[in-house]
Amino acid sequence: MKVEDAQFGDMIAFNTPSLIGNLIKTATFGNVTHVAFVTGSDEIVESTMLDSSDKDGVYQKSLSEKVGACNGDIWHLRPEKIMTHMRKDRCDAYIESILGFPYDKAQAAKSALDIFTNTPEDFNAFFCSELCTKLYKVGGILKGVNASEVTPVDLCALKMWNWCRQIQGKNEIRKFNKIPLEVFDEY
């Protein structure tokens, strides 16, 4: 399946029906279980525990392959400042420097449970929304948000998106574009 008009800096969000997906939805009170950062018209960078190709950690993948393998809801999101503020050169260099980094299981659990507040940012390993948030910070369109505390649904809820397009499924993202950046840490 092809994602129309995908461009660098967009984000793809997933609601995957699985045991892990259901745990994420329960812990985060949301319906987004995974996010990936678009690096090209048919390429993403993501951090996963294990996908269908048994990859673990940060790696690049075909967007159409990822979308084709998902049997849940999928959304295509575009940030507001993508054309005027996104620094592709910085993001490309950062992505190149972290490819192969491990998946951060412990930090993913902490962010989902939201019982460990004021966790320092740690980029020795990544979970999916931590990676996307860090890339938006590196690219210059997101500031002041602790990437290590952002869940997939949190990232979708931040008031930073120009639009969200449903690619597959029928459910809308809960709380989409509702949380102002300046009050995010209070949620």
d(C-alpha 176, C-alpha 187), whole Å: 14
Q: Is the pLDDT of residue 62 over 80?
A: yes
Mean of pLDDT values over 112-135 = 86
Q: Residue ranges of the alpha helices (H) in 29-174?
A: 63-69, 82-85, 88-98, 105-113, 128-138, 152-157
Q: How high is the pLDDT of residue 17?
A: 87
With a pLDDT cut of 90, the percent of the chain lying above it is 59
Q: Is the pLDDT of residue 52 over 70?
A: no
Whole-model pTM: value is: 0.92
Please give the mean pLDDT across all residues of the chain. 88
Mean of pLDDT values over 170-175 = 92
Q: What is the pLDDT of residues 23-34, one digit of tens each?
A: 888 888 899 999
Q: Which domains does the chain have, with CATH numbers?
A: 11-186 (3.90.1720)
Q: Is the pLDDT of residue 156 over 50?
A: yes
Q: How high is the pLDDT of residue 171?
A: 93
Q: Is the pLDDT of residue 4 over 50?
A: yes
d(C-alpha 64, C-alpha 55), whole Å: 17
Q: Is 23 helix (H, G, I), strand (E, B) or coil?
A: helix
Q: Is the pLDDT of residue 82 over 90?
A: no
